[in-house]
Amino acid sequence: MGQVQGKVAYVTGGASGIGAACALTLAREGAKVMITDLDDARGNQIVADIKAAGGEAAFRHQDVTDEAAWPGLVAETEALFGRLDIMVANAGIAIFGPASSMSLADFRRQNAVNVEGVFLSARTSIPAMRRAGGGSMILISSVAGLRGSANLAGYSASKGAVRLLAKSLALELALDGIRVNSVHPGIIVTAIWEKAASPLGGGLNTPLDPYVLGASVPIGKPSSPQEIANGVLFLASDASHHMTGAELVIDGGITAGATRRPG
């Protein structure tokens, strides 16, 4: 307990899935947490859960692509909690399907949230982290940002951009004491994957059974949001003080090689 005691974290897309698990975990370990999302009801419920457990948190409605809103939200975080030490740039969307039929509007929307939103998360938090004497930026990418996949060209392009954005920022900010790392989840049973095209040939937007998903993972089951949050906690804590520009892959072995298939 207390791995991030006294720190202040900002979690985008924190109302559900990986973001909610990150917010709850960071709060449990002593951080004060600003949670933002488009889903007000779920976001406020996460705050209520944190406060019920004795933690400190606040929720604000946010579209991460809205550049004008960012400075005020970070300033409000500093006003409420005194500083900013941790930025978890988690908000993202997935629009899966063949590149041949994907509209340019969908491709651009995916990049607006997954790349531009992450860029704005990082850029706006830099001055606050400098005022705090350093910090940790954690950019949520994906295994899709490490390798290509059919029907995921647009999503993979956006998540690959996040990977190299993290490395470039790590070099720019190293002397400021600001660490920047990317996290690469594999298959997670969250809202995104529940609507994803099956890696075993299912149709677009077909809900997937956890067994089918698990058959694509060498260890035999999808990861959970909590398993990703555990990795985020490590990168947010002082235990990872010498890690920057790194990729933390939490994928059950997907990127290690061939995957299993149902027998």
Strand partners, 36: 12, 60
Mean pLDDT, residues 230-241: 98
Residues of the chain with CATH 3.40.50.720: 8-186+224-249
Above 50 in pLDDT, residue 107?
A: yes
CATH placement of domain 8-186+224-249: 3.40.50.720
Give CA separation, 134 vs 74, 126, 260, in Å.
15, 9, 43
- pLDDT (0 to 100) of residue 46: 98
The confidence score (pLDDT) of residue 215 equals: 60
Residue 40, CA atoms < 13 Å, CB-side half-sphere: 2
Q: Which of 151, 157, 37 has its CA nearest to residue 100?
A: 151
Q: Within 13 Å, how many C-alpha atoms sit on residue 12's CB side?
A: 29
Q: What is the DSSP string of 236-261?
A: HSGGGTT--S-EEEESTTGGGSPPP-
Amino acid in position 1: M
Q: Report whether pLDDT(103) > 90.
A: yes
Full-model pTM: 0.91
Helix (H, G, I), strand (E, B) or coil at 56: coil
**Per-residue tokens: 207:** 């809900």
Q: What is the mean predicted confidence (pLDDT) over 108-115?
A: 97
- Based on the residue annotation, tell me whether 10 is a catalytic residue of this protein: no
Q: Which of 5, 14, 22 is nearest to 59 (CA)?
A: 14
Q: Which two tokens stand for residue 168?
A: 């470039």
With beta carbons less than 8 A apart as the criterion, state whether 113 and 91 touch.
Answer: yes
112 forms bridges with which residues in the sheet? none
Residues 66 and 107 sit within 8 Å (Cβ to Cβ): no
Q: What are the residue ranges of helices labelled H in the chain? A: 17-28, 40-52, 70-81, 104-111, 117-132, 153-173, 191-194, 210-214, 225-236
pLDDT at 213: 54
What is the side-by-side strand order in the sheet with 247-250? 57-61, 32-37, 8-12, 86-89, 135-140, 178-185, 247-250
**What digits encode the pLDDT tens for the residues 66-83?**
999 999 999 999 999 999
The tokens describing 124, both together, are 């706006």
pLDDT tens-digit map of 151-188: 999 999 999 999 999 999 999 999 999 999 999 999 88
Query: Which residue in 97, 155, 188, 235 is the catalytic one?
Result: 155
Residues in Cβ contact with 73 at an 8 Å cutoff, skipping those fewer than 6 apart: 34, 36, 60, 62, 124
Is a pLDDT exceeding 50 seen at residue 224? yes
Amino acid of residue 56:
E
